[in-house]
Structures are given as structure tokens and as C-alpha cells.
Amino acid sequence: MLFYNLNKPSEKVDFKTATIQGLGSEKGLFFPERIPLFPSSWINNLENYSDEEIAWSVMNQYAGETIPEKILRQITAETIAFNIPLVSVSKNIYTLELFHGPTLAFKDVGARFMSRCLGYFMKDNDRSVTVLVATSGDTGGAVANGFLGVEGVNVVILYPSGKISPVQELQLTTPGKNITALEVEGSFDDCQALVKQAFSDKELTEKIFLTSANSINVARWLPQQIYYFLAWKQWKDKLNPPVISVPSGNFGNICAGLLAFHSGLPVKHFIAACNVNAVVPEYLKTGLFKPVKAKSSLSNAMDVGDPSNFVRVLALFNSEFEPLKQTMSSESISDEETGAAIRTLYREFGYLADPHGAVGWLALDRWLKIHPNQEGIFLETAHPVKFPDTVEKFSGKPVRIPDSVQALFSKKKTSVKIKADYIVFLEKLLENKR
């Protein structure tokens, strides 16, 4: 399987190169050259396969030519080495809980897969690679955890000082070893700007081998398909496939689901559940894609004003508007509605959701009110403990702290505080290389 550059289709690379490079030339995202089609006999018998077998079968289509079977099987098994249960919430609504991984958000899946692949690819390389990543919260912890102790890989995480939750900060500032946390006196946009400038700095990239670990990297994006297959495995009513609502920001997660759908996975409809950052809901209404500056909301991991994976969604539909609209709708949910959704979910159904999951639930609930014969799943993308103040404020219920989080509070935060200034950042990067 080759991957082509969406900005320059003649540029084709294998999975290994796409993973190591992250982006193609002209900042183009890589996209699979063909969409694999899984036999319906396999898809309709997923109950007969182990989760590990399913995960390997899916990823083997994309990575099988560059990673030996035994190693890819080990990597995919480790990628999903935690529960991904489908939990009943109400009569026609289920949730797929994606927060049982080590850093309590779905990003663990992509980060675990990518870190292990990169570790394998770098094994025989005499140069080490530096993974640079800017985070608005959950990516940093997942990447730190996934890459901790991986030989040949240094990780530098930039996060905006004072703008991420305490649990999120501890997850990325306590691992140590090959993980360096830079606490930037500025916003997430400042962090991202520093990272972008580093990638385009030729002098720097000659000295340090840089790559990125956000969802534009195929090795983070593609494994997210796995849990859509695991949801179908657990789905009882096989004659009535689910509507799936995905809390969306950068659109990597829902785009992975759409890819699974194009590979034959039965899904009745997708809903991209957004917060006030409504670029995609507006696009589906008007046909105009107008990126804006991100606004802050209660579901901060979805505060994205220019979703970078949306070009992949368009590529999946050959940029045809009508087929896309048939398959995917999108809703924008305000903070007020998010709070009310957290309250209703807890008071009426006894389910404690985080703000992102609550956005997903409300968008689904609205759809099912208009389509009463359908049933749906919303993806619960983070554990409520990552947003304890918001969750307790609206549900009235304090969030029970899992043991893994409790242990974090006794660890020491180690970060390097820097001004949002490229020269300062550059010095730290070069120091880190040693």
C-alpha cells in the first residue's frame, strides 16, 4: 500500500516513509492510494475473532508491507491493550468508552501505535529522531506515555502555560527520560506556530531529524479505525446498524470512522459533533469552508478553527458534496447546551460524561428524535476526571479519581518554562539534542 500526497498526488511513499516524515512536501497530508474492502463474511463474523486479530487485520492492510507480521501483531495488540466497551446509556443510545487507556483519552490508541511503529523504524537508524508536538491538552499526555523509553526517539512537547487542566499537565510533565515538556508563556496557537517554524527551518532540520506526532501523521490517524470495528463486534442488532456520533475538533477521529465505513463497515450515518467552533457544520449548510480563529469552550480539545484532517474527509468522497452530506451530518453545540447535556445524562440516565462526550450525546439525541427507529453510539473520548470542575459543576457529582491519576499527584512536575519566542525555543531544542 502506498500513500500519496494530497497536495501533490505524484508524490507516493510507503507506510514507513509516511510515518517518519509526517507530512509530504507543500505541507500535504498523506492519504492511502486505495481503500481496502473487507469481505462481508469477515465483517459479519467479527464476534468470532479476538480484538487483537481484528486490530491486526485492519492495520495489516496499511502497514503490512513495511513491518513483519509478528512485530505488527505485537504492536497492534499493545495498541488496544485496555478495555473499549460499548455501554448502554438509554433505550436507543450506547456509548463507546475510549478512555480506559493510560492517559484516559482516545488519543492513547493513535499515540501507542505510532510510537511503536516509529521505534521499530528507527531501530537500525544511526540518527535519532525528535518528535515535536504542540498540545492543547490530551495529545501531550498520550504522546509522552506512548513514546516513554522508546530508543532512538526524543520527544519535545510544547504546551500553553496555565491553559491545560492539572491532570493533563501532570501527564506530560512527570514522565521524564526521553520526554521534555516546554511550558510556553502563551497560547496553544503560539505553541503551534513555534512547531511550524521549526519544521520549515532548513538549518535546524539539517542538524536535527524532526517529525510530528499529531493526527496528520498516518500512524496516528489510521489505527483509530480499529475501535469502530470493535464497536460493530459488540453491536447486537446487526440488521439495524448504528448512527455514530463523534465529538470532533481536528476531524482525525471521525475521518478514521469514515474510512472504516468505506472499507465496508456497516454504519447508518455519521454525526460530527462540534462545539461553538462550527466550521464544518457551516460547510455542510452552505458549501463554503471558512476557517476561523478557534474560540475557547468547555470541550477544549475540540477548539479548532481550521480542522486539518477535513481534506482527508473530502478525499474519501472525491470532494463530492451530496454523497458526503448523505453520510455525515454535523451539529454545533454551545457551552450552555454542553453543561445541560452533562446534567441530563447524569440526572436522567446515571451516566457521568466528560464535556466532549456530552457534545457527542446531545448531537446524537437530536438526530434520534427525528429518526426514532434508529439507534446510535456516541464516542466517549475522554474520562470525566480530566475535566473535574466542569463535570462536577453541571452534574452535581464529584468525579471519582482513578488510582492511576491519584499516583500522578505524588509525582514531581518537571518542565522548562520558555517565552513564546523562536530563538529561545531553538536553543532548548539544540540543548536537548546533545
Ligand X SMILES: *Cc1c(COP(=O)(O)O)cnc(C)c1O
- Long-range pairs of 3-8 with CB within 8 A, sequence gap ≥ 24: 3/30, 3/31, 3/32, 3/33, 3/218, 4/30, 4/31, 4/33, 5/29, 5/30, 5/31, 6/30, 6/31, 6/311, 6/312, 6/315
Residue 72 binding ligand X, by CB under 6 A: no
Residue 66 burial (10 A CB sphere; 0-12, 13-18, 19+): middle
Q: DSSP letter at 317?
A: T
User: Do 119 and 148 meet the contact criterion of CB atoms below 8 Å apart?
Assistant: no
Q: Which three cell numbers mark 192?
A: 503551534
Instruction: Identify which range of 73-81, 83-91, 247-255, 392-400 contacts ligand X by CB under 6 A.
Output: 247-255
Instruction: Identify which range of 44-52, 249-257, 339-347, 392-400 contacts ligand X by CB under 6 A.
Output: 249-257
Q: Which three cell numbers mark 142?
A: 498520550
> Contacting ligand X (CB under 6 A), which of 57, 130, 173, 250?
250
Nearer to ligand X, 61 or 250 (CB): 250
Q: Which three cell numbers mark 108?
A: 492513547
Instruction: Identify which range of 113-121, 243-251, 320-328, 391-399 contacts ligand X by CB under 6 A.
Output: 243-251
b/e map 23-49, b = 16+ CB within 10 Å? bbeeebbbbbeeeeebeeeebeebeee
> Contacting ligand X (CB under 6 A), which of 253, 330, 344, 390?
253
Closest-CA residue to 105 (of 32, 168, 162) = 168
> Contacting ligand X (CB under 6 A), which of 229, 251, 346, 425?
251
CA gap 75, 70 in Å, rounded: 9
How far apart are CB 141 and ligand X at their closest, in Å? 9
H-helix or E-strand containing 345? helix 335-349
> Contacting ligand X (CB under 6 A), which of 119, 247, 281, 339?
247
CA gap 20, 276 in Å, rounded: 34
Q: How many residues bind ligand X (CB under 6 A)?
A: 16
Nearer to ligand X, 130 or 215 (CB): 215
Nearer to ligand X, 98 or 429 (CB): 98
How far apart are CB 276 and ligand X at their closest, in Å? 14
Site for ligand X in 102-121 (CB under 6 A): 105, 107
> Contacting ligand X (CB under 6 A), which of 24, 175, 223, 252?
252
> Contacting ligand X (CB under 6 A), which of 381, 388, 390, 395?
381
- Vertex 131: Cα angle to 138 and 381 (nearest 5): 20
> Contacting ligand X (CB under 6 A), which of 24, 175, 223, 249?
249
Site for ligand X in 295-354 (CB under 6 A): 301-302
Q: Where are the alpha helices (DSSP H) in 132-186?
A: 138-147, 166-173
Residue 356 binding ligand X, by CB under 6 A: yes
How far apart are CB 110 and ligand X at their closest, in Å? 9
How far apart are CB 217 and ligand X at their closest, in Å? 12
Site for ligand X in 212-231 (CB under 6 A): 215
CA-to-CA separations, 307 to 137, 279, 282, 283, 347, in angstroms, rounded: 16, 8, 13, 12, 33
Nearer to ligand X, 253 or 330 (CB): 253
What are the residues binding ligand X (CB under 6 A)?
105, 107, 138, 215, 247-253, 301-302, 356, 381-382
